[in-house]
Amino acid sequence: MATEFRLTRRMFLERSMLLGAASALLVACQQGPTAPPKTEPKPTEAPKAPAPAAQPTAAPAAAKPAEAPPAATTAPAAQVKKGGSITIAQELDPVSLDPHKSSNFSAVQGFEHVYESLTQYDEKLNVQPALAERWDVSSDGTQYTFFLRKDVKWHDGKEFTAADVKYWHERMMAKETVAPYKNWFDMIERIEVVDKNTARAILGKPYPPLLATFAALRGGAIVQEGAAEKMNLATAAIGTGPWKLAEYVPQSHLKYAKNKDYWNKELPYLDEMTMKITVDEDARVAALRAGQVDYGFFSQEGADRLKPDKSITVVESPKAWLTVAQVNTSRKPFDDVRVRQALRLALDPKEIIQKAVSGAAAPSGPVPTGHTDWFIKPEDLKYQKPDYEKAKALLAEAGHPNLKFTILSSPQYPEFVSTALVMQDAFKKIGVDAEVQQLEWGTFVKQVNAPNFDYDVEITARTFYPDPDHYMFPYFHSKGVNNPNQSYANSKVDELLEKGRTVADPAQRHQAYFELQKVLEDELPHFWFYSGINIEAVRNYVKGYIPSFTGRRIFLKQTWLDR
């Protein structure tokens, strides 16, 4: 067993260091006797390149496939074959397509091709112009003036104007909307329509992440003025994006047609796109093999099954999927930092990664590994190796040698249950008796969320948030909305969180968030385990698709078919 773990660790270090060109490192890793060697993931159109040599750093830029196709606007027209249609196996059923009323990631996957925001992400998570072609920020950081593109038309032919932006904000803020991401935008007091093509956002206080928050498209999607009053946004959509929603049959499929009037005249390359809702992974594997779908999203097991197939390319890349154990600091003895440290010392993130997601993840701190340049590199993270003796000593010192508690998870996400089981087994080694309880999702969210906070330890995950602030402020600020009964309070943490919100200078913000993460690593109000790897697979003729750290499929608009 010792040998095994040493092996595992080495491979993990490899994996995390290289997380960069996520691909290369995966080649080197062998998971175990049963796992076939990893193939080399790459952007689907790139010529076979030799695996990059091990790089000591995981520079965020390198985290994106280096051979990424050129930006769409400059794509050599000769190379790209336009037209045709693609079928995508969609792994989740988007319950609603309303861009403001859903917290489900599946909803984003359904509407992200139809709607746009003022800004957008490129493949390296740089904020780029979208509906706003440029912007001015006042020197005090409280006024953003957006100069809107003049050539944008809604899918119904209407012209896009500043009034639409104003309408978006009003809808987001209305109580009746129950927008789950309202707090991402509620620092905007109002939107002023300066003229038809200029909108000004007036903020109560500076908020440096604002531009990125638009690009994240969670709550930031602009809908047409009056849209909610004249149509059902849950099932229909009129956007400005590269694709028009042509048909939506819940639990069956979504059909998109090319928006011929898209402001970026080059895009999209394809004429048509169908998302077949296929929640069962076996069905997705079978469908991709049979050529019924051209693209699918998979677990490590699914990818292992697909890799032997020569007509399929598996692409692996880091994605924001930060799995954490939230410790309820409003309950004794979890308010005691020594207890939290002791529990954390019993856990081995590498083992959790192996057993929960078959190795498809990298160790992570409070900001998911791979998130531009905001994260602590995996090799610099603390608490990556269990120390049972120290853990027992800490527990004894805190006066809780025989601790008992419950770990909550939901079978909605099997990897949460698996994580809980590994934790339970590890805690036995320090004499801690943890019970694992799984709850149906609705019950789970009711019980663990504000205002109930009824749990000892719960397992959950954070998807892509645009800024470190989103990963930390709500949870660790003494006034944070998701801080259990606002029990966790640390003046240093508060100070750094507030600094990150007010300082405009990127270098200073950067420094503040690194310092903050270092403090949190020892404070451990949460246990951060890993950030996931996006495993996507396409038929070989699918070209130009680039994975996104956001987990979204932003670049389907520049995907084309070579056949």
Partner 1 sequence: MADRAAALAADLPLPSVRTPPTPAARWRRIAAKNPLGVLGTVLIALLVATAALAGLLAPFDPVAQIARRLTAPDGIYLLGTDEFGRDILSRIIFGTRISLYVGMVSVGIALGIGGTLGLIAGYFGGWIDNILMRLMDVMFSIPSLVLAIAITGILGPNLRNAMIAIGIVYTPTFARVARGPVLAVIQNEYIAAARTVGARDGRIIFRHVLPNVTAPIIVQTTLSLSTAILAEAVLSFLGLGTQPPEPSWGTMLGTGRKFMETAPWVAIFPGFAIMLAVLGFNLLGDGLRDALDPRLK
Partner 2 sequence: MTRYLIGRLFWCIPVMLGASVLIFVLLRFLPGDVVDIIIGSEGSATPEVRATIRRLFGLDQPIYVQYLVWIGAVLRGDLGSSLRTSQPVGGLLLSRLPITIELAFLSVGISVLLAVPLGVLAAVKRGGPAELVSRLVGLVGLSLPNFWLATMLILIASLGFGWLPSLIYVSPLSNPIENLKQMLMPAVSLALALMAIVLRMTRSAMLEVLSQEYVKTARAKGLAERVVLMRHALKNAMIPVITVVGIQMGTLFGSTVVIEQIFGLPGMGWTFVNGIYQRDYPTVQGAVLMLALTFVFVNLLVDMAYAYLDPRIRYG
d(CA 503, CA 498): 9
Q: Decide: is 84 part of the binding site for partner 1 (CB under 8 A).
A: no
The stretch among 101-109, 196-204, 335-343, 390-398 that binds partner 2 (CB under 8 A) is 101-109
Cα angle: 376, vertex 377, 383; to 5 degrees: 75
Q: Decide: is 442 part of the binding site for partner 1 (CB under 8 A).
A: yes
Query: What's the one-letter identity of residue 164?
Result: D
d(CA 470, CA 228): 28
The stretch among 120-128, 153-161, 170-178, 545-553 that binds partner 2 (CB under 8 A) is 170-178
The structure tokens 């880091």 sit at 318
- Tell me the C-alpha to C-alpha distance, in Å, between residue 436 and each of 56, 346, 407, 453: 39, 16, 5, 17
Q: Decide: is 181 part of the binding site for partner 2 (CB under 8 A).
A: yes
The stretch among 28-36, 197-205, 374-382, 513-521 that binds partner 1 (CB under 8 A) is 28-36
> Considering only residues 129, 333, 414, 431, which one is a binding residue for partner 1 as defined by CB under 8 A?
414
Among partner 2, partner 1, none, what binds residue 489 when CB lies within 5 to 8 Å by partner kind?
none
Pairing between β-strand 542-543 and β-strand 560-561 as defined by DSSP bridges: antiparallel
Among partner 1, partner 2, none, what binds residue 436 when CB lies within 5 to 8 Å by partner kind?
partner 1
How many residues at the interface with partner 2, by CB under 8 A? Answer: 57
475, 482 contact by CB (below 8 A) = yes
Q: Decide: is 412 part of the binding site for partner 1 (CB under 8 A).
A: yes
Q: Would you say 443 or 485 has its CB closer to partner 2?
A: 443
CA-closest candidate to residue 537, choices 325, 294, 310: 294
The stretch among 152-160, 459-467, 504-512, 535-543 that binds partner 2 (CB under 8 A) is 459-467
The stretch among 40-48, 128-136, 370-378, 444-452 that binds partner 2 (CB under 8 A) is 444-452
Q: Decide: is 289 part of the binding site for partner 2 (CB under 8 A).
A: yes
Length of the chain: 563
Q: Decide: is 451 part of the binding site for partner 2 (CB under 8 A).
A: yes
d(CA 241, CA 220): 13
d(CA 32, CA 39): 15
The stretch among 227-235, 350-358, 365-373, 496-504 that binds partner 1 (CB under 8 A) is 350-358
Q: Decide: is 449 part of the binding site for partner 2 (CB under 8 A).
A: yes
Using only C-alpha atoms, the chain has a radius of gyration, in whole angstroms, of 23
Among partner 1, partner 2, none, what binds residue 180 when CB lies within 5 to 8 Å by partner kind?
partner 2
3-state SS, one letter per residue, for 242-254: CEEEEEEECCCEE
CB of 425 to partner 1, least distance (A): 5
CA-closest candidate to residue 464, choices 370, 392, 540, 397: 370
> Considering only residues 175, 260, 265, 310, which one is a binding residue for partner 2 as defined by CB under 8 A?
175
CA-closest candidate to residue 249, choices 441, 90, 99: 90
The stretch among 144-152, 412-420, 451-459, 550-558 that binds partner 1 (CB under 8 A) is 412-420
The stretch among 93-101, 237-245, 379-387, 513-521 that binds partner 2 (CB under 8 A) is 93-101
Q: Would you say 78 or 290 has its CB closer to partner 1?
A: 290
Q: Decide: is 32 part of the binding site for partner 1 (CB under 8 A).
A: yes
Could you check whether the bond before residue 250 is cis, i.e. omega within 30 degrees of 0? no
187, 205 contact by CB (below 8 A) = yes
At a CB cut-off of 8 Å and minimum separation 6, what does 527 contact? 324, 325, 327, 340, 343, 344, 347
Q: Decide: is 276 part of the binding site for partner 2 (CB under 8 A).
A: yes
Q: Decide: is 443 part of the binding site for partner 1 (CB under 8 A).
A: yes
Q: Decide: is 354 part of the binding site for partner 1 (CB under 8 A).
A: yes
> Considering only residues 30, 55, 85, 96, which one is a binding residue for partner 2 as defined by CB under 8 A?
96
Binders of partner 1 among residues 132 to 171 (CB under 8 A) are none
DSSP 261-319: T-SSTT--S-SEEEEEE---HHHHHHHHHTTS-SEEE--HHHHHHHTT-TTEEEEEEEE
What is the rounded end-to-end Cα distance, in angstroms, of the chain? 49
DSSP annotation of 176: G
> Considering only residues 104, 264, 437, 486, which one is a binding residue for partner 1 as defined by CB under 8 A?
437
d(CA 508, CA 501): 11
317, 534 contact by CB (below 8 A) = yes
Using CB under 8 A as the criterion, which residues of the chain lie in contact with partner 2 when the complex forms? 89, 93, 95-96, 101-104, 175-176, 178-183, 232, 234-235, 249-253, 274, 276-280, 282-283, 285-287, 289-290, 292-293, 440-451, 460, 462-463, 474, 481-482
Using CB under 8 A as the criterion, which residues of the chain lie in contact with partner 1 when the complex forms? 1, 4, 32-35, 281-282, 299, 301-302, 304-305, 354-355, 358, 410-412, 414, 417-418, 420-422, 424-425, 436-440, 442-443
